[in-house]
Structures are given as C-alpha cells and as structure tokens.
Amino acid sequence: MDKAHYVSLSEAELPALPWYVQEYYQAKATIPLSPATLYQYLTEYRRFFSWLISEAIVPAPTIADIPIEALANLSKAEIELFKGQLLSRSKQNAKSNGQSLSHSTVNRALTAITSLFNYLTTETENNAGEPYFYRNVMKKVALVRNNQTYSARAAAIKSKLMLGDEDHDYVTFINEHYADTLSDKANQYFERDRLRDVAINALLLASGLRVSEAANSNLTDLNLKTATIAVIRKGGRRDVVPIADWALSYLRAYVDQRTIIYHAPTAEHALFLTRYHGRAQRMQITSIEKMVAKYSSAFKVRVTPHKLRHSLASKLYLATKNEQLVATQLGQNTTTATGLYTHIIDEQQRQALDKM
C-alpha cells in the first residue's frame, strides 16, 4: 500500500477514537512517523480500548468516550491482564494452525500503547504548561521476551541468505538468465522492467535498505558519484547510506534509461517507477516485495526484501567483525539487533567443537 492509502485508512479510524488519540496522531504525523506504522498503532488502540470496555475496566459507552483520566489510573495488573489476553490468543492461534508461537504481535501492541502513554505523560501540555498526566504505567510493563535464542533464529534464516558470491550471482541471474524461464509474452514485460528490477535488488543487497526506504527514495536521493543514497529512517531520522561499489553499474544503467522506459515527466521524483494506466508512478512496497519473491524463487529460495537486508548485514559483519559499523549501515541506534548476524556467520563455535 502507498502512503496515501494508509493515511486514508487512518482517517477512517480516527473518528471512533478518543480526542487525545486524535491529537497524538496529528503530532506524530508531523515527525514524520511512517503512515503504515501510525495506522497499525491506531488499530492497536482500537483493540486495547475495546478490551477495556468489554472487561468493564472503563465504564464508557463507546471507545471515543473513554476519558483520559482512565488511562492515568490504569494499574500495572490491568495492563498485564491485557498482555496475558494477547498471549492467550496467540497460543490459541498457534494450536489451531500448527505454527510456532510468535510474540511479535503482542509486542507490537505493547509498543503502540507505550508510545501513546509516553506522548501523554511527557510531550503534551495543558493550560498550566503541564503534561496531561504524569503516571506512566507502561514503564512498569516489559515486552514479551523472544522464545528463540540468537543461534536458533540464525539457523532458521541462514539458508535464506545470499552469502559468499550468491548476492552477485543472484543479480546476474536476474539480468542475464531469468528471461530463459519465460514465455515470449511474459518476456516482453520482463524486458521492459529488467533494468529497474536488477537495480532494486542490487541496491537492497549492496546497502541493506529497508524495502520502505527504497520505495520512498527519490531520484535526487541517489548520488552515484559518492556511492550513497539519502533516506528517511524509522522515526523520521534522515540518513545517508553508503552503497557497495559493485551495485553502481546496475543503478547507473537504470537511471540512464528511467525516463525513457517509463515516460516519466519532470515532476515525477520517485527513483523507482512503474507504469499504471499509461502513467509513470512510484513503485510501491508490495510490488517490490512480490518482485523479490518472484526472482528469488526462481534463483534459489523464496525470500523477502528483509532477507536481502540480513544478507548485507551478515556479509558486512563477516568482513569487519564490527557490530557498531553494521548497526550504522542499517540505521539502527544500538547494536542490540546486530547480535543475530554474529551468530549467522561466526564459525568459531563450530571450529572449537570440531577440535574437541
């Protein structure tokens, strides 16, 4: 979905939510936070407030009528009860569909609620110049710990990474060999988009960008002379990301033909384009995800753009053994998440075991 669609979905959610959530949305939309993130947060607030009413914790006729004082007076036990209800639902889903239990949905809900409480207790200001309330119960509530170790997670995704020369081989496969698998009609559309698709895959593998960052990039953000691309990271932070030299030729080939292939007007600033109803427009995140899935399935195994990001991070750590450098490349504030990559490519443990 594009930004405008998420904004439209959010605007449909807002009238049913309390005034202070509407205020929160307006404040966070100017940072800017991702429209997709904001929409997800609004749906989490709707679920949380619906639960407060259904459990008779807050006696309000509708979600919009829940007073701000109700949040100020929520107890840790009540929040933990909500957390437990989410965990119980996750367990029921896991039993019914046979999948292993994931805590990401629970943590997303808690993170969304924490963001709202942080705003109401620190960023707001009433007529007296004070926050709407001070007591932030969410500071006492911990996220659900992941039920897998780094080693287990690393083992699960390692087979889907493009390590060694596989990243180069993958891009070469798209550029030179994928057409061999197609009919004449399908090949016609592939050839139109080949330079673009090769450039996107090369960029993701050579920079570690998130798919949203690549989709939202503009032509002027890419600097082939300095081998960098300017992006907006999570939380609205601006960053300039280095690109590995091997990808530059693919990007240059696409940029040189971008206007000709997609008949892009001067006013169209998007870096990666598609044609829709005869008009050039920005390529959307879902289209990039489907494109990566198509090519990776034909090459080795179906992966997501996020696995391409994992591949870059793993190779960068292998080359540098520097977690901070990997975190910087990925646009992360801390090295907390980079521990995964040390387990993906660090063979010291295996070598030590083999000597025993």
Q: Which of 129, 147, 165 is the last residue of a domain?
A: 147
Q: Which of 92, 114, 147 is the last residue of a domain?
A: 147
3-class DSSP assignment, residue 279: strand
Q: 167 and 107 share a domain?
A: no
Q: 219 and 309 share a domain?
A: yes
8 Å CB contact between 112 and 45: yes
Q: Which residues contact residue 74 at a Cβ distance below 8 angstroms, ignoring those fewer than 6 apart?
A: 57, 137
pLDDT of residue 94: 47
Q: Render pLDDT for 41-73 as a digit per residue (tens, 0 to 9).
A: 999 999 999 999 999 999 999 999 999 999 999
Q: Which of 99, 131, 147 is the last residue of a domain?
A: 147
3-class DSSP assignment, residue 145: coil
Q: 203 and 344 share a domain?
A: yes
Q: Return the sign of the alpha-carbon dihedral for residues 27, 28, 29, 35.
A: negative
Read off the CATH number of the domain in which 342 is found.
1.10.443.10
Q: Return the sign of the alpha-carbon dihedral for residues 268, 274, 276, 282.
A: negative
Rounded Cα gap, residues 193 and 204, in angstroms: 17
Q: Render pLDDT for 175-193 as a digit per residue (tens, 0 to 9).
A: 999 999 898 888 998 999 9
Q: 184 and 113 share a domain?
A: no
| Span between the terminal Cα atoms of the chain, in Å | 53
* Number of neighbouring beta carbons within 10 Å of residue 355: 6
Q: 165 and 305 share a domain?
A: yes
pLDDT of residue 46: 96
Q: 212 and 74 share a domain?
A: no
Can you give the residue range of the structural domain that contains 125? Answer: 3-147
pLDDT of residue 74: 97
Q: 142 and 220 share a domain?
A: no
Rounded Cα gap, residues 132 and 68, in angstroms: 8
Read off the CATH number of the domain in which 27 is found.
1.10.150
pLDDT of residue 159: 73
Rounded Cα gap, residues 257 and 98, in angstroms: 48
Length, in residues, of the chain: 356
Q: 81 and 209 share a domain?
A: no
Q: 138 and 195 share a domain?
A: no
pLDDT of residue 155: 62
pLDDT of residue 97: 47
Q: 263 and 187 share a domain?
A: yes
The b/e string for 188-221 (b: 16+ C-beta within 10 A; e otherwise) is: eebeebbbbbbbbbbbbbbbbbbbbbbbbbeeeb
Average pLDDT per consecutive 10 residues, the chain (356 residues; last block may be shorter): 81 96 92 83 96 95 97 95 83 47 78 96 94 96 72 67 92 95 89 97 97 94 97 86 97 97 94 92 93 95 91 89 90 72 59 53
Q: 200 and 261 share a domain?
A: yes
Q: 33 and 121 share a domain?
A: yes
DSSP structural state of residue 32: T
- For residue 131, say if its preceding peptide bond is cis, omega within 30 degrees of 0: no
3-class DSSP assignment, residue 105: helix
- The count of domains in the chain is 2
* Number of neighbouring beta carbons within 10 Å of residue 32: 13
pLDDT of residue 195: 98
